[in-house]
Structure 1
């Protein structure tokens, strides 16, 4: 329930103010999610999914602790379509986080993992975001114009496929 309540607060704030801001998440909801994830001995896809969906409002040090834990399970879960889907979602969220924090070397490593995981036709969304993040990385580290063109093209594809809210959210990374 804390996850849902937090998402609703973030989306309501985005709708009213046009700004994605995780500061609107209640501290008790953050603590509930953090306590739950800290207490887990054996992570299932459900916990990995919870982590993926809440990492943008968890404290920085816990994100990498949790990511190390779930990385060890990657080989097992990617054998299953749902597992690959959850891991792609996790990688997308962590890559976005690394760009916000200007951690481009880490973003590059994670981007390689996403590229290796998102190869089937079912992974179209993940592949689109892979190409967007690849453009963003090029924009920030090699050639701004070339990277921006590539990233913008992926955002335009999202709009064409009726995913304008996602395109708008990811376009914030271009600023």
Structure 2
């Protein structure tokens, strides 16, 4: 007999892992890797957007980058749910010292034996196979684009994602008050 699991709509705790490069502390490399699965309801879609915003903010991203990733998450979530019958959708956010990659897909690692081969989709809706090497992710290997990129697998999985340059939040200093 299976077990039921109920998840509350509250945000899950996010553990931030910062790896320090062999540089001065002021230029330490940020790193974030987060994957969250959710259902297909409006509440789940809102939850994924909130998770993306919280993760980006806690990782030290600028307000504009955090908002851009959040907006992209909201749009991608609606698109994937509207174009897939999968029972769950998956948000992945990966950030390093230079880039942030956000994807929303209907793919779950339990579905296959290894990572899927994501293929770019042309404007006519066809898979773009020319020049795609096996094991290469076109979202992370190609040039950074301004908008969301659509990818599919040969077996029908769907992914919408964005890759953007990392922008750290500006350090704000409070003016010190004179004592006296």
Which of the two has greater strand per residue?
2
Which interval holds the TM-score relative to the shorter structure?
Answer: 0.3 to 0.5
Larger relative CO (CA 8 A, sep 6+): 1 or 2?
2
TM-score in terms of structure 1 length: 0.33
Which of the two has greater helix per residue?
1
